[in-house]
Amino acid sequence: MHPFFSSALALLLLVPQSARAQASLPPGFVDAAAVVDGLVVDMRYFGSDNFVGERIDGYERPRCVLSAPAANALAAVQRGLAVRGLGLKVFDCYRPQRAVANFVRWAQRIADVKRKREFYPDVDKRDLFKEGYISQRSGHSRGSTVDLTLVRRSDGRELDMGTPFDFFSPKSWPSDASVSGEAHANRALLAAAMTHGGFRPYKKEWWHFTLAGEPFPDTYFDFPIR
């Protein structure tokens, strides 16, 4: 091998993997796991444990990508929870627009109901658009919205929230009174921690929060997660 190329390869190997991963992101975005100490990452759309039942377009790696301000705010939330022995577990962060299009195509395939029992047992798939569970755009594509829950730092177990993540039902509304008292208290604890950290809750999903004053309020990105 030519000495020049040998030197270049050696320098590349010296660059930390995290730095190379950061270089793959557009300006203003970061890998949240590199910013939020102890963040548990369970990117559901990278695998098949989701309402579609397969990996979603644009999720090439299981990374929680967020705008830098959102990641920094999430780090502050994590620090506040640590004194309670709790932490954050993320299910989805930045979502490429191509992933949203993937959801739309799936919703139009009415016969594909293989995950209905787990995620939308009480909703006719033909009503997913009308009920607002699927739409042509998502705030996640702006880079400052995150879906998450609380876990115990001692063993990583999720706190009871009454429903699973992405459960299409009014039971997932933070205000729903049908869940247990424990689940209602846990939802309130999550909401309080996130709002104190500068995030806005969503009235129909206990897991969904958007940074107030997000840096890209009118831009829907489509870069893949690599």
* Residues with a known catalytic role: 205
Q: 11 in a domain, yes or no?
A: no
Q: 136 in a domain, yes or no?
A: yes
Answer whether 0.85 is exceeded by the pTM: yes
Q: 199 in a domain, yes or no?
A: yes
Q: Distance of CA 96 to CAs 58, 67, 191, Å?
A: 6, 13, 25
Q: 73 in a domain, yes or no?
A: yes
Task: Give 65-86 pLDDT, tens digit per residue.
Answer: 999 999 999 999 999 999 999 9
The residues of the chain scoring below 50 in pLDDT are 4-5, 9-12, 15
What is the total count of domains within the chain?
A: 1
Q: 223 in a domain, yes or no?
A: no
User: Do 55 and 47 form a contact (C-beta atoms < 8 A)?
Assistant: yes
Read off the CATH number of the domain in which 113 is found: 3.30.1380.10
